[in-house]
Amino acid sequence: MAKEKTVYVCSNCGQDSPKWVGKCPSCGEWNTYVEEIVRKEPTNRRPVSGIETQKPKPLALSDIEADDEPRINMHDDELNRVLGGGLVPGSLVLIGGEPGIGKSTLVMQTVLHMPEKKILYVSGEESARQLKLRADRLSDTSSDCLIVCETSLEQIYVHIKNTNPDLVIIDSIQTISTESIESSPGSIAQVRECSASILRFAKETHTPVLLIGHINKEGSIAGPKVLEHIVDTVLQFEGDQHYMYRILRSIKNRFGSTAELGIYEMRQDGLRQVNNPSELLLSQDHEGMSGVAIASAIEGIRPFLIETQALVSSAVYGNPQRSATGFDLRRMNMLLAVLEKRVGFKLAQKDVFLNIAGGLKVNDPAIDLPVISAILSSNMDAAIEPEVCMAGEIGLSGEIRPVNRIEQRIGEAEKLGFKRFLLPKYNLQGIDTTKLKIELVPVRKVEEAFRALFG
């Protein structure tokens, strides 16, 4: 007989303890332990998947075959790029995002464009009729995707055994439960046990599995952090619901780069891939407006131009406000300190608001120069010429440090018709300027950049 017992589990990292503790010894968070009832199974219990596998034997590294497996084409250039070139057979991919952001829409849209694969779509949240209505809204093409509404992990394995699919989609992992644990679906123990079991199934049968996960109010994927450690790839689907852009970002990827970015536009008939984000992220009518600078940024392998907006005004109250949307606030405070100390602009009693247009979050240090240019443009109420683009990292001594892949940044600006490009002086080495139609303005310090922009 199985024995029931009570354990306390950290809701942040999944660490368990036989008694309640105030501070988690693993992650250091306070008051995160919650009580859960678990049932201890006998050690000779058969695996829940019911798949008979041979016990592995130790092999010499030279005896292991490591041929490159052909990746599965998802028929979506943005998704393929973020995954690292396509879906790897036997991989477990987690797609997380806030409610209503479009996770199920993205997955269903992808499924409808893969008629050559047999796909099993397991829905624990929506009925088959709801999925049919969404599929009709997204595409007119018919797909042989198999739909089953099920929340029991054991029954899901029965359906997989009967249908033998090429790809399994589970929407969502928080609704799935196994009979071996008494706690409710969505609890830490259930999420951890179900994910580990699905991972074993994926590796043993070389069947790729897509999991959809929820985001909690803190902004992280619901369930313990161990869920992110179990899966092979974690994709974050993010974006403000008030903006039409959605960004697919790779947080963890065992089969590719985590610096890749996919951009979609939310429309009535689904998500449209944005192959050239620069044209969408630039407003066409900022001529004569102060506080706007165009930055040439790179996310992953793709360069794109973004609009950096700043507003500087006198502080109405005692403490000046500092606010940044899409940019690290601490880095903005550092740049303001550099401006005050090295260049002599008095911004201590000014409110400074910074915004990256389009709802993007950018981590590229090369947009330091556009940020301070936009701030000073707003402070002096002097507009930057609309045909000027720039890139450069700012050091603490006020110097403009070189950035990587400058040729791609210049090429993107030239393609969109910009006439001048401000770049760090060191980056000018090795660039063939004879073939360029854009004027390169090398700058070494912040003062030189301001003289080039404002005269």
Q: Residue 292 pLDDT > 80, yes or no?
A: yes
173-198 average pLDDT score: 86
* pLDDT single digits (tens) 257-280: 887 888 888 888 888 888 877 777
The model carries a pTM of: 0.76
The verdict on whether residue 97 carries a ligand-binding annotation is yes
What does the pLDDT read at residue 51?
57
337-365 average pLDDT score: 88
The residue among 85, 149, 141 whose CA lies nearest residue 114 is: 141
What does the pLDDT read at residue 45?
46
Phi/psi for 360 (5° steps) reads -80, 155
The residue among 73, 76, 108 whose CA lies nearest residue 89 is: 73
Q: Can you tell me the distance from the alpha carbon of 224 to that of 33, in angstroms, rounded to the nearest whole number?
A: 11
The verdict on whether residue 98 carries a ligand-binding annotation is yes
Q: How far is CA 252 from the centre of its chain?
A: 9
Q: Residue 139 pLDDT > 80, yes or no?
A: no
CA distances from 42 to 38, 45, 154, 420 (A): 13, 6, 18, 72
Task: Tally Cβ neighbours within 10 Å of residue 217.
Answer: 7
Q: Which helix (H) or strand (E) holds 451?
A: helix 446-454
For 66-114, the DSSP string reads: -PPPPPBP-S-HHHHHHHTSSBPTT-EEEEEE-TTSSHHHHHHHHHHT-
Q: Can you tell me the distance from the alpha carbon of 138 to that of 452, in angstroms, rounded to the nearest whole number?
A: 50
What does the pLDDT read at residue 46?
46
* pLDDT single digits (tens) 392-412: 999 999 999 999 989 989 988
56 or 1, greater pLDDT: 56
What does the pLDDT read at residue 39?
61
pLDDT category, 349, cuts 50, 70, 90? Answer: confident
The verdict on whether residue 198 carries a ligand-binding annotation is no
pLDDT category, 41, cuts 50, 70, 90? Answer: low
334-340 average pLDDT score: 93
* pLDDT single digits (tens) 200-254: 999 999 999 999 988 766 666 656 667 888 999 999 888 766 667 888 888 899 9
Q: Which residue has the tokens 């009693």?
A: 349
Amino acid of residue 80 = N
Share of residues in the chain with pLDDT > 90 (%): 39
Coil, helix or strand at residue 293: strand
Q: Can you tell me the distance from the alpha carbon of 325 to that of 410, in angstroms, rounded to the nearest whole number?
A: 26
- In the structure encoding, which two tokens stand for residue 305, read together? 């131009």
pLDDT category, 351, cuts 50, 70, 90? Answer: very high
DSSP state of 191: H
Q: Can you tell me the distance from the alpha carbon of 415 to that of 375, in angstroms, rounded to the nearest whole number?
A: 27
* pLDDT single digits (tens) 410-433: 988 998 889 999 999 999 887 887
The verdict on whether residue 170 carries a ligand-binding annotation is no
What does the pLDDT read at residue 222?
59
The verdict on whether residue 99 carries a ligand-binding annotation is yes
Coil, helix or strand at residue 335: helix
What does the pLDDT read at residue 179?
87
- In the structure encoding, which two tokens stand for residue 197, read together? 């079991």
With beta carbons less than 8 A apart as the criterion, state whether 372 and 335 touch.
yes
What does the pLDDT read at residue 285?
66
DSSP state of 355: E
CA distances from 339 to 441, 443, 455 (A): 21, 16, 18
The verdict on whether residue 300 carries a ligand-binding annotation is no
Coil, helix or strand at residue 419: coil
Q: Can you tell me the distance from the alpha carbon of 192 to that of 74, in angstroms, rounded to the nearest whole number?
A: 27
Q: Residue 186 pLDDT > 60, yes or no?
A: yes
Coil, helix or strand at residue 45: coil
Length of the chain equals 455
* pLDDT single digits (tens) 352-372: 999 998 778 888 999 999 999
Residue 302: half-sphere exposure toward Cβ, Cα within 13 Å = 16
Q: What is the mean pLDDT of the chain?
A: 85
What does the pLDDT read at residue 374?
95
What does the pLDDT read at residue 44?
44
325-333 average pLDDT score: 94
The verdict on whether residue 104 carries a ligand-binding annotation is yes
**CA-based radius of gyration for the chain:** 26
- In the structure encoding, which two tokens stand for residue 310, read together? 């700043």
- In the structure encoding, which two tokens stand for residue 118, read together? 């047999």
What does the pLDDT read at residue 174?
87
Phi/psi for 90 (5° steps) reads 85, 5
* pLDDT single digits (tens) 58-108: 888 888 877 767 889 998 999 999 998 899 999 999 998 888 888 889 999
Q: Residue 1 pLDDT > 60, yes or no?
A: no
326 or 2, greater pLDDT: 326
CA distances from 101 to 113, 160, 228 (A): 21, 29, 20
